[in-house]
Every structure is written in C-alpha cells, then in structure tokens.
Structure 1
Amino acid sequence: MEYSTLIKRIFIIAKSKWILHILKGNLFSLASFEVVSNLKEMVPELHYIIDVGANSGQFSKVASYFYPEARIDAFEPLPNLYSKIKKTFENKKNIRIHNVALGNENGTIMFNKNNYGHISSILEISSTNKHYPKQENDLNQIIVNIKTLDSLNLIKNKTKGNALLKLDVQGYELEVLKGAVETINNIDYIVIEANLEELYSNQPSFTKMNNYLNEREFELMGMLDFNLGDKNKYIEVDLLYKKTEKRK
C-alpha cells in the first residue's frame, strides 16, 4: 500500500463512522463513504442522483443507503464494471444502470481502459503524471458508446426535490458538463472530482472548471474528500457545488 494512501485511510477512519457501518455488515467503499457521509451532512435530502463515472457502483451504493428514497441513474462505459454494477443493484428498482460514456457528443469514442479501473478515462494519462504506479498505467483501448446528458432527457422540467449530478470521469468532467447545458438547469448540486495537477493530457485546469461552474451560477460549497499522490501532494479533491438562489 502506498504511504500516502495509508495516511488518508487512517485519517478517514479516525474521523468517520465507517468502521461502525462495517461492523453492522454494511460493506461500503471507504472513499465513497467519506464523500457521501460528508455530503449528507451538507445536503440532508436528495431525491434524484445522476452518478457519472460509476466505476463499481461504490458511490451509488453508499448514496442509496444515506438517501434511500432517491432515484439514481448510474453511468459506466466499461463492460466488465457495468456487469458488476448491474448485479449489485439487480433488486434495486430505484437505480438504473447505463452502459455508456457521457460527454459532449453522441456516437462512439475510444476509451483508455486501465488495469485499475478507477483511473480509466477517455483522456490519456499525462506523460508528466508521477502519481499513478506504473503497473496501473498498463492499458488497452476499447470503443464505447457516448452520449450527452441532454440527449437523454433524464430530468426535464423538474418541479420539486433536490437533484444532484456527480462527476468522476478522470479529467473529462468539463466535456460532460458541455453536453448537459439543459440538464444542469434542473440540477441543485454538483459533486465533481477536480484535478489539481495534470494527471491526464488535455484535461482542463481547476480554475477553468471552477469558472465554468461559476458562470452557470454554481458556487463552491465545500470539499468532501481528497486524494494524495507522490510525496503526499493533494492531486484530486471532491468538491460540492450548489446552485445559487437567483438561478433557481
């Protein structure tokens, strides 16, 4: 285990109730538990969640526990992970799983599938990225379907209840937002994993991402989690944005 990862896990366990849930038989991802438990404190009620970059379904699993009445649409383009998520939630009628990538176009796109699924991305890992162990960077490319959120009309004309968009797509978040211009008009909160260093080639800077959200009347509400990299640098942060009142 990387030293930085060990430090983070000790920190989370020391400050959270994750271990109590494990003892009760609730097997939650530690990182996702940190994000969603902090989210629950800041946003007590959610009625609809769009989970983009669902990976193995860990975020949706914790979210469905803390927000049991919420409907969830989860998106994961990798076929092996999609099958895993589908099996996990086969008895959850309020959770729908979609085997598709999201972005700013409709069609197909080349996807970089890494050994460690969490760092798989449409973007290539940057040649200057020193934070991912070499064995995790081994990859193969596959073709996946891609759609825009707006083309799916998942949340058109929302009239009540809090809706959240969660984005964890390894540097491709801005492209997803560009394909969700109409969708985010009906979104109240956005959780986004922001990269603080160039982890992927051609990824937007944090400043660019933050400005894009601010221009659409979303303001930073707080940090939910963080990831440490080489030499214990903060390389990724999970941030919560809230739509300002004047936009609602």
Structure 2
Amino acid sequence: MKLIKKLLFKVLPQSTYLKLLHRSFYLLYDLNLLKNKKSFKYHYMVKKIIQDGDIIIDIGANLGYFSKTFARINPSGKVICIEPLPQYYAVLTHFLRHRENVEIHNVALGREEGKATMILPKSNGMIRTGLPYISKKNETSEHPTQEVNIVNPISLLKSLSKIDYIKCDVEGFEWIIFQELKQLINTHKPIIQIEISTENRKDMLHLFTELGYEQMGIADFQLVKETGEQKEEGDFLFVPKTKVQELLK
C-alpha cells in the first residue's frame, strides 16, 4: 500500500492525489473496513455522540475525514471547518460544496491575527498529509514550508448561538488555541475531541479539569469514564460533568 501511495504521489498532480486520498478513505470507511483500527475509532464513535441540530467546530479539518461525517449525521445543524492550508481547503470545498450545513474557513486559529509558517513534514519523499504544523519561533526545517493566515477564534466564532462539539487536531498548537477558546468553552460547554501532543498533555488535562470537564474513553465501541491518564495514542474526549451521565446512557 505504501508503495502504491508513493507511486501515485509521484505521478499525479497534488490536487488529484489529495482528492484520491479522501475518496479512498470514505470507500473504506463506508464499508466499515477501518472500524477495528484504533486510529479510526472516533471516526465511527462520533455517530453515537453527535445529535442532529448540533453546531460542530472542526479545527484542523485537513482532508475532511471527520468533516464529511459530521455533515452527514448532522443535516439540520452546522459544521464549521477550519483548515489553513489552501490545498486541503480546496479538497474540503470540492467534496462539501453542495452541503448547505457546512461552512469552510481557510485560516488557522491563534492568539493574534496575521501570518504564520506551516511546516509540511515529508517521509520517503512524500508529504505526510496529517502532520503539517505551525512552526515555532525561529524554527528551521529541511521540510517544505507554507505561509498561512491566522485569526483569533473569538473573532471568528463569537456570533454562534451555541457550540455543541469541538474536534481539534492541530499538531501541538492546541495549547495556544484553547487558551483563546476558554471564554467560549465556559459559555457553551461543548463536548471536546482533541489530539494532544505529549508536551502539552499535562497542561491540557489541567485546563479541562479547571473548566469542569471529565475525560472519557472508548472501550468495545462504547463510551466509558476514563480512569487516570489515557494510555493509548490518539484523540482524547472531554465531556462537561453535567453531560456525562446523559452520554453514558
């Protein structure tokens, strides 16, 4: 499979290759062929968590592997996709343009509005599509870079009447974003699905405790209360204490 991907990456235009990745993912997803892979457990579990009519924020929407699912199961609600890379934004727009419940923003979230540099890691000559990240100050890299626009999350999201669910995958930039989102989280108390880098883990767990959240996990395709720090890699799920029992029903 890796050899096939590498060949396709070399011979296809980038836009075609990225669209092919999206189509391939949803072919396997819809056939339930990814259901037993730990890295895709939340892609299936969100069907049990999301309620039709929810307002969902997808921060770091990437190629839309969650965004399209959110849109499918939530036709009466709204999905706000936030993706800074123009080539990924183009994929999202291509596959979600006919869905009236989807809004897509070609920006990154951060403390101050302006520009930032994203690093696009390569492995074996191929861009690792799930790993682009905003570079730290004065960071140098041998990998390709790309300039993106940054907006403050409050300015982008403050007009929303409610926020029910936030999914966030921003490769280590989550601490900065959630410092800015604290006000909205306190107001709306959304369920939060988030990938947390090792360096931010302690601070993020403390932040969610302060905000009145409990950590939950998945066992045998069921939501359960998490005991202690999550051991496996992947996303964390944080639920407001007031919503835990309802979610466990």
**Which residue number in structure 1 is paired with residue 183 of structure 2?**
182
1:102–1:49 distance in 2 versus 1, CA, 3 Å: same
After TM superposition, the structure 1 = structure 2 runs for residues 14-25 of structure 1, keeping only pairs within 5 Å, are 21-22=30-31
In structure 2, the residue corresponding to 1:181 is in which secondary structure? helix
**Which residue number in structure 2 is paired with residue 207 of structure 1?**
202
2:29 and 2:205 map into 1 onto residues whose CA distance is 35
Deviation at 1:107, TM superposition (A): 1.3
**Which residue number in structure 2 is paired with residue 122 of structure 1?**
134
1:34–1:64 distance in 2 versus 1, CA, 3 Å: farther
**Which residue number in structure 2 is paired with residue 9 of structure 1?**
none
1:222–1:123 distance in 2 versus 1, CA, 3 Å: farther
In structure 2, the residue corresponding to 1:111 is in which secondary structure? strand
Among 145, 153, 169, the alignment partner of 1:141 is 145
Deviation at 1:73, TM superposition (A): 0.5
Q: Is the 8 A contact 1:223 1:239 kept in 2?
A: no
1:138–1:58 distance in 2 versus 1, CA, 3 Å: farther
2:181 and 2:29 map into 1 onto residues whose CA distance is 38
1:210 and 1:59 map into 2 onto residues whose CA distance is 23
1:70–1:139 distance in 2 versus 1, CA, 3 Å: farther
Runs (4+) off by over 6 Å:
none
1:31–1:90 distance in 2 versus 1, CA, 3 Å: farther
The superposition leaves residues 9-29 of structure 1 with CA deviations (integer Å, 9 ceiling, x where unpaired) of: xxxxxxxxx968338xx999x
2:70 and 2:39 map into 1 onto residues whose CA distance is 9
Among 231, 237, 241, the alignment partner of 2:238 is 241
**Counterpart residue type for residue 157 of structure 2:** N
Q: Are 1:51 and 2:94 counterparts? A: no
Q: Are 1:164 and 2:159 counterparts? A: no
Q: Is the 8 A contact 1:223 1:238 kept in 2?
A: no
1:91–1:157 distance in 2 versus 1, CA, 3 Å: closer
**Counterpart residue type for residue 107 of structure 2:** V
1:37 and 1:76 map into 2 onto residues whose CA distance is 22
2:194 and 2:128 map into 1 onto residues whose CA distance is 20
Deviation at 1:219, TM superposition (A): 1.5
1:120 and 1:56 map into 2 onto residues whose CA distance is 12
1:41–1:140 distance in 2 versus 1, CA, 3 Å: same
Percent identity over the alignment? 28
**Which residue number in structure 2 is paired with residue 38 of structure 1?**
45
Deviation at 1:243, TM superposition (A): 1.6
| Ranges in structure 1 where 5+ consecutive residues have no aligned partner | 3-17, 125-136, 198-202, 226-233
In structure 2, the residue corresponding to 1:190 is in which secondary structure? strand
**Counterpart residue type for residue 176 of structure 2:** E
1:31 and 1:107 map into 2 onto residues whose CA distance is 37
The superposition leaves residues 31-79 of structure 1 with CA deviations (integer Å, 9 ceiling, x where unpaired) of: 7863132133345556110000000011111122233322000011111
Q: Is the 8 A contact 1:123 1:171 kept in 2?
A: no
**Which residue number in structure 2 is paired with residue 218 of structure 1?**
213
**Which residue number in structure 2 is paired with residue 71 of structure 1?**
78
**Counterpart residue type for residue 143 of structure 2:** L
| Ranges in structure 2 where 5+ consecutive residues have no aligned partner | 3-26, 122-126, 222-230, 244-249
In structure 2, the residue corresponding to 1:119 is in which secondary structure? coil
State which drifts further: 210-219 or 236-245: 236-245
2:98 and 2:38 map into 1 onto residues whose CA distance is 24
1:103 and 1:48 map into 2 onto residues whose CA distance is 21
2:105 and 2:31 map into 1 onto residues whose CA distance is 28
Q: Is the 8 A contact 1:106 1:147 kept in 2?
A: yes
Q: Are 1:109 and 2:116 counterparts? A: yes
Query: Cα RMSD (Å) of the superposition?
Result: 3.3
Deviation at 1:235, TM superposition (A): 6.7
**Counterpart residue type for residue 208 of structure 2:** L
